[in-house]
A and B are shown apart, each in its own frame.
Chain A
Amino acid sequence: MDSALKELRQSVGDAYVIDTPEDLIVFEYDGAVDKATPLAVVIPETAQQVSECVKVARRHELPIVARGAGTGLSGGAIAEHGGVVIAMTRMTKILEVDTENRIAVVEPGVVNLDLSTHVAPLGLYYAPDPSSQRACTIGGNVAENSGGPHCLAYGVTTNHVLGMEVVLADGTIQWIGGRTRESVGFDLRGILVGSEGTLAIVTKVVVRLLTKPESVKTLLAIFKDLDDASAAVSGIIGAGIVPAALEMMDDLCIQAAEASVHAGYPEGAGAVLLVEVDGITESVEEEVEAIEEVCNRFRPIEIRTATDAEERERLWAGRKGVLGALGRLAPNYLLVDGTVPRTKLVEVLSKIRQMSVDTGYPIANLLHAGDGNLHPSVLFDERIPGDTKRALEIGGEILELCVEVGGVLSGEHGIGLEKQDHMPLMFNESDLAVMAKLKPSFATEDSLNPGKVFPTGATCGDVRQAAAIARVGPGAYV
């Protein structure tokens, strides 16, 4: 091991290899998962250095895990099998902005929001906006195919990445895709986005930028319960409107948000619907009128609208602060990420409520209602013996329910470590075998982020009690 460390130091410089236990602690976690300690963390500055580190790790048969900001919610950046973590902390340059073609070329460590902020004076933005966008990186977004509240209208990361420079498992540096919307041959770009760092390491990303819409309007509708709010969601979609964002929260979330950010939700509020529409002014006005009309059909307690940035921010405050606010209700929560067909929302939410009643564990529901992506949060206290295990079991039951009604395990957080053992709920052995063939296709020899995505064969509750348990606090996102 000493020789591996020595070679890594030669590759990136002494200052950029971390191997003391006290310094490695911060790399044991990511956004929501259990911990594992790598042998070393290297912080390269160039693709060439990434390549050299990969070659060193391969020579010494050490697993390699690429890491962005560590905000991931499925354990994707955890060095489960030790080895070398390649942190992108120094690869943070926005290399190029091509305004006419609306393209940016960035290094993987660029923070998502920094890119939008950087191009804002040019009237442009980068559309995928995971809730962790103040911290998460473009490289991590590529690995997880991240979404965000606004992906309903604008799509997820894969719809916005044109090309990538990658380092393959043997250290080769290669371009996949490029600057054009189409490239020739198999769509390797589409395969790599969302492959959770298991096939290649991204060292440059070419992304599409969008023109900032001239008008954005946000509407907050408060209903007495989830059924009315869900009916309004169906009504909006039925009216032929695909809003930029369509978010929902239940009464538990409302209580938590009210207590923490004082969003000013009225007494008796059982569900809050947040709708955002953008585009040219006239279209936005017409759509907001239509949305109000739909909401009014379902006995809203109150409807608020906002046009300027500050007012909009106020309407979003409750939604954005809710996860952190859940800490007021319980010391821990287990965050689930299933997606169900939109029309099954009412059924699934009512079954989740019943689960909560039956088990005695409060479950708060916030959801990207427009695309059916649920985030039920099972509240518990890890200090109580058995509580963690029980919460995990409930989380597993919720995922089973999602798949049962035609949904999926993960809408936006990825499989990682957290949900790998639930994969057989969705995919049979042949399905998984076909997926697994991508690894030899990229000749990874399972050295890149090993032990993720695919089931381990054990039941999740036994394997890692702590998996998927978010530590509550203002730093938590969804």
Chain B
Amino acid sequence: MNSDQSDLPIRVIERSLGPDSVINDDSRYSVDGRPIPVAVRPKNIDDLSAILTESHAQDVKVMPVGGGTRLSLGNAAQTPDIALDTTSLNQPVSINSADLTATFEAGMTLDSVQSILAENNQFLAMDAALSNNATIGGILASGTSGPLKWQYGNPRDLVLGMKVVQADGSITKSGGQVVKNVSGYDMARLHVGGLGSLGVVCEVSFKLTPKPANEKTVLAAFDNSKSCGDVALSIFNGQVTPLALNVFDRGVLSATGMSNIEGEQYLAVRLGGRPRGLARMVDETIQASRAGGGTTIEIVDGGSALDLWRRISDFGWVDQPPPEVVLRVSLVPNQVQTYIDAIKASLADNAPSFVASPGYGNVMVFWQSGNTNNKLESSGNAIRALRGGAVSLGGSAIIERCPVELKSEFDVWGEAGDSIEIMRRMKQQYDPKGILNPGRFIGRI
């Protein structure tokens, strides 16, 4: 699009859906601090397809957006011409509770999905920050996951099938609505964690999970972080099967509202099951924590436990102002505590907060620059230390958030190695004109 065609995005929307569909100058639509002047919120998949068909024809750049909770993720790139808001695609398509499957439009928030499924005592075994706003399409596209990944894996493992609008506007599907299926390539994989750069996710079929009959959470404080990490790893390698297990620092504990417990590092273990099995798992977790050097050990249940887990999941995303630097780190399980201790040492003057899922090998790191004269420089140094620490332990780190000014210094996604060539060809195949989130994904593709 040339600069003398500044009204082209508006014409694209007018031509595909009529003038009433143009949303002008809505401050909700921005990326990296730059407003996206034109937005559209299609009411159904056909309308979304019409927008992309026309955008593709006119070479207009489009940024798909759900609840807008993770827009900080992505490389700095040219400002998109149109924000394509999916939140009106917000209806359940089919709920098959007896089959443990359901299909939803991608603009539904995770909370609204969960409240529908709760009627049948079931749930979608994923969680995410700001789940009252975060849409399932957005969560999948950004590849994020919450505490439940300990037991249920990445949300991608719950996806059975998908309907996607391709960059050229064609509507395609893959997978199915059954829990076991090897019919054709597993195309949904391209879109989970793909940041909407190869297509726009419109409908998702999921595997559902029965809610555990009962739940209890064990919360333990440790004076020594390594002891805490060892207990987490011993649970990972034992018979107890938590729904979620996180270790975190004092800052996170404060945010959960349980700040009265003294300690250096904390362990929260979410357990579920029928009464006798649950009781045994709670006992074993308490014993392991005590034997491993846990000082204060508490059992949290009911609404307090749900609140605790929501606050852990939301940590770093609800604070005002939010932490300037957020990293999503992947490691093998037994390097998680090593990493935590290393970054605390290397950033001793201003240690980050963290929420880690050791058995899964994930650490979310949150860092604030604090009182310094040169916030940008210190943020840059912190990012290098945090990412360098992960890479030196054989892991990787995605920069989920950082000062916009620093984005040009990093590929926020990290290093894809030789695979980047395949990824570039994928972009070429699926979005040859580069209209979907151009420049924002790995390798600035």
A positions within 8 Å CB-CB of B: 98-103, 144-145, 147, 151-152, 155-156, 158-159, 172, 174-176, 178-188, 190-191, 193-195, 211, 213-214, 234, 237-238, 240-242, 279-287, 290, 339-343, 368, 371-373, 406-415, 419, 423, 426-428, 430-432, 434-435, 437-438, 440-443, 453
Contact = CB atoms under 8 A, between A and B. Distances in A.
Contacts of A426: 176, 183-184
Interface in B117-171: 121, 143, 149, 153-154, 156-157, 164, 166, 170-171
A102 B101 contact: no
Interface string B82-105: 000000000000001011110000
Contacts of A155: 153, 157
Contact of B185 (A159, A183, A195): A195
Given A181-B362, A185-B419, A283-B280, 4 more contacts: A155-B153, A179-B394, A184-B398, A187-B192
A453 B174 CA distance: 14
B277 interface: yes
Nearest to B149: A181
Given A287-B274, A430-B171, A423 B193 contact: no
B181 A158 contact: no
Contacts of A434: 164, 166, 170, 172, 174, 187, 430
A1 B153 CA distance: 49
A462 B211 CA distance: 49
Contacts of A280: 239-241, 277, 280-281
Contact of B419 (A188, A240, A281, A415): A188
A202 B194 CA distance: 24
A435 B193 contact: no
7 closest A-B pairs by beta carbon, nearest first, are A283-B277, A190-B189, A240-B210, A286-B274, A282-B276, A182-B330, A185-B416
A211 to B, nearest CB: 6
Contacts of A172: 418
Q: Which residue, of A103, A180, A428, A435, has the highest number of chain B Cβ atoms within 10 A? A: A180
A185 B186 contact: no
Given A184-B413, A343-B96, A103 B332 contact: yes
Given A184-B398, A186-B426, A372 B238 contact: no
B181 A339 contact: yes
Nearest to A214: B239
Nearest to A422: B183
B186 A191 contact: yes
A411 B99 contact: no
A413 to B, nearest CB: 7
Contacts of B187: 191, 434-435
B172 A430 contact: yes
Nearest to B192: A187
Nearest to A212: B239
A368 B182 CA distance: 15
Interface string B375-414: 0000000000000000000111010000000000000011
Contact of B180 (A241, A406, A412): A412
Contacts of B174: 427, 431, 434-435
B172 A413 contact: no
A472 B180 CA distance: 26
Nearest to A200: B422
Contacts of B101: 341
A103 B334 CA distance: 11
B417 interface: yes
Contact of A283 (B171, B172, B183, B276): B276
Contacts of A430: 166, 170-172
Contact of B153 (A159, A283, A285): A159
Q: Which residue, of A182, A286, A430, has the highest number of chain B Cβ atoms within 10 A? A: A182
A419 B182 CA distance: 11
B96 to A, nearest CB: 6
B307 interface: no
A187 B184 contact: no
B184 A427 contact: yes
Contacts of A284: 277
B165 to A, nearest CB: 11
Q: Which residue, of A190, A214, A423, A443, has the highest number of chain B Cβ atoms within 10 A? A: A190
Interface in B39-86: none
Contact of B239 (A181, A213, A407, A432): A213
A234 B419 contact: no
A180 B98 contact: no
A140 B416 CA distance: 26
Contacts of A437: 426, 429-430
Contacts, number: 256
A286 B277 contact: yes
A195 B187 CA distance: 10
B279 A372 contact: no
Contacts of B258: none
Nearest to A124: B237
B418 A174 contact: yes
B309 interface: no
A467 to B, nearest CB: 16
A242 B125 CA distance: 14
Q: Which residue, of A103, A287, A437, has the highest number of chain B Cβ atoms within 10 A? A: A437
B96 A190 contact: no
Given A182-B362, A185-B442, A286 B276 contact: yes
Contacts of A285: 276
A259 B360 CA distance: 48
Contact of A408 (B157, B183, B332): B183
Nearest to A155: B157
A172 B233 CA distance: 37
A6 to B, nearest CB: 31
A411 B194 contact: no
Contacts of A371: 178-180
Contacts of A373: 180
Contacts of B121: 240
A119 to B, nearest CB: 13
A159 B328 CA distance: 21
Contacts of A343: 96, 98-99
Contacts of B143: 182
A101 B157 contact: no
A144 B184 CA distance: 10
Q: Which residue, of A368, A373, A413, A438, has the highest number of chain B Cβ atoms within 10 A? A: A438
B273 interface: yes
Contacts of A213: 239
A184 B184 CA distance: 24
Interface in B293-336: 328, 330-334
B184 A159 contact: no
Nearest to B211: A240
A411 B240 contact: no
B233 A147 contact: no
Contacts of B194: 186-187
B261 interface: no
Q: Which residue, of B99, B280, B362, B417, has the highest number of chain A Cβ atoms within 10 A? A: B99
10 contacts: A179-B394, A186-B423, A193-B186, A234-B98, A240-B212, A280-B280, A282-B277, A283-B274, A286-B276, A441-B426
Contacts of B415: 184
Contacts of A411: 178, 180-182
Contacts of A99: 237
B239 A442 contact: no
B153 A408 contact: no
Interface in B185-206: 185-187, 189-190, 192-194, 198
Nearest to A438: B185
Contacts of B439: none
